[in-house]
Amino acid sequence: VVRGEARTDAILDAALELMAATGYDRLTIDAVASRAGASKATIYRRWPGKPELVLAALSRHGTAATAELDTGDLRGDLAQAIIQMRDSLASQDGALILGLLNAMRDNGELAEHVRGQVLSAKRSVIGGLVARAIERGELPDRADHELASEIASALVFTRILVTGQALDDAEIARIVDAVVMPVLTRDAKGRQKS
């Protein structure tokens, strides 16, 4: 019998696998319990409902997928973070995210949870890189990491899931240089620092 952390991992893995296969709306706690070899009671002891279970699964998955980034400078760190986003969206995660976005339109509770937890976790990745760059003296302390994160995420999402345009490492470097770094290095009046 699987217990403790291994049981939790099995449940979260089952939730992700089933959501990728069936979508959020058709995901059931019964199916997750069956796939994970757990009882529904075990699942409900850990998570009060489907939205919380899915968010826990996505959060754990996102944490595992975002390796510690430290290339030594902000430009390199940003490029690596965007490469990780691209690789994640180009994998099974793209289907998960599209399914989740679709479900969010009809499920206000899910939308609120996703916006509150998952999106803030994604912003914190860029925020952490920016904070480290500020400590190293690479950026002013007012650098707008939220806008930079939103722009980077939107570009990757659009390229991978909407337009299908190429997004190789060279194009990511160009995006960092032409779009993300200028947002972070502008002064309080929106002018580029020289």
Q: By the 8 A CB rule, do 27 and 104 touch?
A: no
Question: Structure pTM?
Answer: 0.75
Q: For residue 86, what is the domain's CATH number?
A: 1.10.357.10
Query: Residue 76 pLDDT more than 90?
Result: yes
CA–CA dist 134, 131 (Å, integer): 5
- Region 117-129: what's the mean pLDDT? 78
In a domain, 37, yes or no: yes
The answer to whether residues 77 and 29 belong to one domain is no
Domain of residue 101 covers 66-185
Question: Closest by alpha carbon to 89, among 65, 56, 105, 59?
Answer: 65
Tally the domains of the chain. 2
Q: What is the pLDDT of residues 81-101, one digit of tens each?
A: 999 888 887 876 777 777 788
The per-residue pLDDT for 66 is: 52
Q: What is the pLDDT of residues 138-180, one digit of tens each?
A: 998 888 988 998 899 899 989 988 898 889 999 999 999 999 9
